[in-house]
Amino acid sequence: MTLFVKYDFNLACKTLLKEHLDAFGISYTLGSLGEVHIKGKLPEEQRQALASSLKRYGIEILDDQKITLVERIKNAIDELLKDEKLKSVKVSSYLADTLNYSYAHLSSIFSESTYTSIENYIILRKVDLAKELICNTDLTLTEIAFQLNYSSVAHLSGQFKKTTGLTPSTFQRIMAKKTNYTTPSGT
């Protein structure tokens, strides 16, 4: 039997963080975009134990300022792409306002650290989100294009094909066949 699940990655991470921080008796507040504000000083032994505990779940405590900023940029982009209320917001303004740096600085750090531009990263994330929506919902390609703030299905299809080598329709058919193939008949 195969179960298909939908999950909220941000909620899952926040819940995991809360559980671990509480278990270690750390006084904190959760900020946005992957930030945890520790109240007081965190002893190095406790920090290492927390880091080790979180690492099992793919959560790392970052020390490098540039890497931290890149992760905050990625988190802000994910938040921007998933929040219906932020659809019409200009990416550069949103990132600058959210992260309190000029967009030029953010763009420079991001490109230097990831070897790609923020704009290209956004395209890759939108295509990933389109794949998730194709696989996990019954939305039409028109609805998916609208939800991801594309000007048209043709625009979504062009970026999808350029990124994956497949049209969204072809991807949809392949995933449907894969699901039918892996689901035993009669169950």
pLDDT at residue 187 tops 80:
no
Element at 182 (helix H, strand E): helix 168-182
pLDDT at residue 58 tops 90:
no
Q: How far apart are CA 73 and CA 64, in angstroms?
A: 14
In three-state secondary structure terms, 28 is: strand
Mean pLDDT value across residues 85-90: 82
pLDDT in tens, 12-22: 888 889 999 99
Q: What residue spans define the domains of the chain?
A: 10-61, 63-115, 123-182
What pLDDT shows up at residue 23? 92
Query: What's CA 127's distance to the chain center, in Å?
Result: 12
What pLDDT shows up at residue 182? 59
What pLDDT shows up at residue 122? 95
How many C-beta atoms lie closer than 10 Å to residue 72's C-beta? 21
What pLDDT shows up at residue 153? 93
Beta partners for residue 29, in sequence order? 37
The string over 30-41, giving b where at least 16 C-beta atoms fall within 10 Å of a residue's C-beta and e elsewhere, is eeebbebeeeee
Q: How far apart are CA 31 and CA 22, in angstroms?
A: 16
What pLDDT shows up at residue 65? 80
Nearest to 79 by CA among 122, 40, 48: 122
pLDDT in tens, 88-136: 889 999 999 999 999 999 999 999 999 999 999 999 999 999 999 998 8
CA torsion angle 97 100 105 107 (round to 10): -50
CATH of domain 123-182: 1.10.10.60
pTM of the model: 0.67
pLDDT in tens, 18-51: 999 999 999 988 876 677 888 888 888 998 999 8
Q: Are the CB atoms for 4 and 136 separated by under 8 Å? A: yes
R_g over Cα of the chain: 20
**How far is the CA of 35 from the CAs of 13, 29, 41, 109, in angstroms?**
11, 9, 16, 19
What pLDDT shows up at residue 10? 77
